[in-house]
Amino acid sequence: MRFAFVGGLDVPDWLLSQMFVLSKMSVVKFKVLCKQVLMQASGAPVDEQKFAKLLSDGKLESHEVKGAVAALHFIFLSSARYDVAEETLGEELQQLGLPKEHTEALVIALRDGRAPLRQHLADASLRLSKLESLRWRVSEDVGSARAHAADLQLTVRAPAALGTSVAPPERLLKMRLSADTLSLLHAELLKARELVPAPK
């Protein structure tokens, strides 16, 4: 059976097995766990001691706790990614065996945290390398009659990975363009600048 919260695909087997584990938790602990996992998925700092205290429940073994956190994390990210309606998500989770009270708690937590989660996902996607420096010079190509070429030297830096403050190393790119190729590149870049709105 296909489910909207996983993009119209079948639910992974590991997630199905975690539904039983999630249903063993009390509703109160489940609500708090949902909020903590949602905060973590949104990139917000999480109180590790509160997290550990919450999960130190005699009913669950350590591997079950890890599986439950992974399952909630997957459900939140996947639901936000595919922009699943709350009613649809609730119905699908109940079809998978999650009790109604647990489902309602999860849906309410997602309703409250959907905007920051989607913003975090948007910030984490389509991040382009930053141009650090550009050097160029025009030279006469010795091989052909009075042809000119442009030597470009670009230094770019990829964006830092989310959750880290360590900047990745710079990359040096060198290229030689003929006068015709440089003119074509310049025209294409001007056209692209017209089409793409300036950042606000």
> Mean pLDDT in each 10-residue stretch from start to end of the chain (200 residues)?
88 91 88 89 77 67 82 93 92 93 94 89 75 86 70 84 67 88 90 77
Q: How far apart are CA 102 and CA 111, in angstroms?
A: 14
For residue 95, what pLDDT is reported?
Answer: 94
Would you state the pLDDT for residue 143? 63
pLDDT of residue 73: 93
Residue 98, pLDDT score: 92
Is the separation of the CB atoms in 174 and 152 below 8 Å?
A: yes
Predicted pLDDT at 99: 93
At position 141, the amino acid (one-letter code) is D
For β-strands 130-141 and 9-10, DSSP reports them as: unpaired
Q: What is the pTM of this model?
A: 0.64
pLDDT at res. 146? 60
What are the residue boundaries of the structural domains of the chain, listed by start?
A: 2-124, 130-195
What is the DSSP secondary structure assignment for residue 4, as one 8-state letter? G
Q: Please give the Cα distance from 88 to 157 (Å, whole number).
A: 42
Three-state DSSP at 188 gives helix
- So what's the pLDDT on residue 74? 94
